[in-house]
A and B are shown apart, each in its own frame.
Chain A
Amino acid sequence: MFIVKRGGLMVTTRMQQKLRTKPHRLSERAHFGTTGAIADSTYRESASATEELTQVLRLPATHLRLLRDKCALAARVNVLKKVPVLSTPSARPLLMSLAVDASIATFDEGTVIMGDGQQHDGKNLFLIESGIANMYRMTLGDPTTRQMRIFGRLGAGDYFGERVLLDPPSQLDGVAGGMSHSEAVVAVTDVQCIVLSRSSFDTHMGAHRESILAELSTMVDGRTVGTVLGCKVPSFAR
């Protein structure tokens, strides 16, 4: 890609030349060839200098893509920081390695993301990037009349299934884990999530689990971990 430092560039395509439309001009501080450089390293348009002593800065496509990937990773780390468990002093330095391991998952409208014996149960923490999901919970009372009710609505920036990060692996066995089996999360619109797996968390942060929990409880100043997380995540409210 190029950045115009001094002077100007004239940008045109073959189609525009055929149609004899006026080429457009890039002045100082404009950039050229960014889309093509990121996509497939080919130029979408031709560019030539318009005046004497035109100076451009050139950044190779490979480096631009590397920079883009690094930025995406930094953005993901920023999202992860919003989860209280991951924002403790012990967890912060490890966020970068977690972010590298994290994957992106998309769910169509109406899909049960978690609960009800789904494959993700007890294995992943989900952070919603876009879309809306409903959180259902079994009502209390007589077992015969109990039913699933909408308990909360989750949007961009919300997360669920974080219990996989807090509980030691042994305690999770047998629980339809991450959340109790009386809860479920269902996509209301198409939902895109960052998925953080329990195995990746165990690898990078397993050794620090105790200190993370200790810091979390001091961070919330006396209140229990459940109450704090409960403000955001209903599964901890009990």
Chain B
Amino acid sequence: MNKVLRMSIDVGDECMNQKSTKRVRRRMGVQAVALSAITEKNDGCNKFKVIHERSQINFLSSALSKHFLFTAVNKSTMEGVCKSMHYVEIPAGSNIIQQGQIGDSFYVVDSGELRVMMKTEGQDEAKVIQTLRRGQCFGESVLMTVSMRRAASVRASVDCGAWVMHKRVYEEDVLAKSVGSSVEEFLKGVDVFYRLSPAVVRGIATRCELLEFPANTVIFKKGELSNDMYFIVAGKVAIIGDNERELSTYTTRGESFGEGAILTGKGRRTAGVVTRTTTSLLKLHADVIIKLFPLGVENLLDEKLALQVLKLIPGFEELNEQMLRDYGVTEDEFLCDPVLRSITLEPGALIAEERKPAEQRPCSSSSAAG
């Protein structure tokens, strides 16, 4: 019984709702007994393995294989991953994960109904963005990002059951065993993705499409509806503005274009793109990116912009992503506030006044991206 209680505390540590904590623990204790499943202890980790029934493993592997992070996982690995998951019950009305908190687990819904709620800056109330039912997964942001911060809250609307996977299981079993593809190696070198964990990069790699275009092919025209972002693998493309005027050319491996479609959300191209030489491009659908970083796309592109601009300033030639990561974009220790902030201004709004000190933190209508 002692062991059972320890397990329940272990899995219940992410339940934020203080009122229901007592109830959660009691219920989970009962659940563990009902499974009579505690068999072995992982060396030194104080985690208990649960033996699952065949039907449960089948259910979990089919649910996981639909998730983009697990598409490349083979059958035997998948079974091992499923076996290392354990069960947790979530009472109605409690938050299993809380936006902004640091977490370490990924969940698959077994029964009941949960609501994904996200609060963006400037909104008083969290908005329900998705409802999850049996077979659906949540909490993948901790597997994908280095910061392991929750991107949204998930609340049970009725009594629910869910299977929990620890981040370590994912890293050791899934990541270490899958073979890196050339697309993945390429993506690791793309500066937009430098802040992501290998897990996300692998996830993106499985969703990318490698395309080859002959010279002088129009990839897209200005004003076209489109949802794709492109990365240059090799070759040269030109950005075409109004009246066929060439605005700039991109030749660097890893450089991206078409990100505007993702940022504005309208999906209208602001400029056209034409290949100049035979060009290999990696095409990534906007949905993948939006799903990967529901809050963070803009921040990633902000960093890219800041890096490019700063590098041109004398004294900053040696600047690299690592330095920006250390000093530029990591969150402020005390205020949990991204250092690199995006501020939207009204026409005529004054952001800086001559001979006035640069304020530490402007209180104007700023929208934090991250």
Q: How far is the CA of A234 from the CA of B324 in the complex (A)?
A: 41
Give min CB distance, A8 to chain B, whole Å: 10
- Docked-complex contact B302 and A43, CB < 8 angstroms: no
Whether the Cβ atoms of A46 and B354 lie closer than 8 Å is: yes
Is A42 on the interface with B (CB-CB < 8 A)?
Answer: yes
Question: Given A49-B347, A70-B323, A70-B327 in contact, is the A59-B306 Cβ separation under 8 Å?
Answer: yes
Query: In this complex, what residue of A is CB-closest to B326?
Result: A70
With contacts A43-B352, A46-B353, A48-B349 taken as known, whether A56 is within 8 angstroms of B358 at the C-beta atoms is no
Interfacial chain A residues near B339, Cβ < 8 Å: 59-60, 63
Complex contact A41–B358 (CB within 8 A) = yes
- Tell me the nearest residue of chain B to A10, going by C-beta: B348
Contact status B352-A32, CB under 8 Å:
yes
Segment at the interface with B among A71-79, A145-153, A196-204: A71-79
CB distance from B132 to the nearest CB of A (A): 34
Q: How far is the CB of A21 from chain B (nearest CB, A)?
A: 14
- Whether the pair A42, B355 counts as a contact (CB closer than 8 A) is yes
| Chain A residue at minimum C-beta to C-beta distance from B310 | A67
Residue pair A34, B313 in contact (C-beta under 8 Å): yes
Q: Mark the stretch among B109-117, B168-176, B288-296, B314-322 that contacts chain A.
A: B314-322
Mark B165-185 against chain A: 1 for CB-CB distance below 8 A, else 0. Answer: 000000000000000000000
Write the chain B residue with the least CB distance to A9. B351
A57 partner, pick from B302, B320, B352, B360, beta carbons under 8 A: B302
The answer to whether A68 has its CB under 8 Å from any CB of chain B is yes
A106 to chain B, nearest CB (A): 18
CB nearest neighbor in A for B366: A58
Which residues on the B side are within 8 Å of A33 (C-beta)?
A: 352, 358
Beyond A59-B340, A67-B319, whether A48 also contacts B310 by CB under 8 A is: no
Residue from B316, B351, B354 within 8 A of A68 (CB atoms):
B316
Chain B: interface residue count, which band?
35 or more
> Given contacts A57-B302, A67-B324, A74-B318, is CB(A13)–CB(B354) below 8 Å?
yes
Task: State whether B361 touches A47 (Cβ < 8 A).
Answer: no
Q: Does B42 contact A (CB under 8 A)?
A: no
Contact assessment for B305 and A57 in the assembled complex, using a CB-CB cutoff below 8 Å: yes
Are A3's CB and B309's CB within 8 A? yes
- The yes or no answer to B363 lying at the interface (CB within 8 A) is no
Using known A-B contacts A43-B358, A49-B349, determine if residue A59 contacts B328 with beta carbons closer than 8 Å. Answer: yes
Q: In angstroms, how far is the closest chain B Cβ from the Cβ of A168?
A: 34
B342 in the interface (beta carbon within 8 A):
yes
Q: Of B306, B308, B324, B349, which is in contact with the most chain A CB atoms at under 10 Å from its CB?
A: B306
Q: Complex Cα distance A78/B302, Å?
A: 28
B302, B315, B350: the one contacting A5 at CB < 8 Å is B302
Extra contacts, 5 of them, besides A2-B351, A60-B339, A62-B360 (Cβ < 8 A), are: A3-B305, A3-B306, A5-B342, A37-B358, A67-B310
- B residues with CB within 8 A of A: 302, 305-306, 308-310, 313, 315-320, 323-324, 326-328, 339-358, 360-362, 366
The 4 A-B pairs at the shortest CB distance, nearest first, are namely A49-B345, A74-B318, A43-B352, A71-B318
User: What are 5 A-B pairs with beta-carbon distances under 8 A?
Assistant: A42-B357, A46-B352, A57-B341, A57-B343, A67-B327
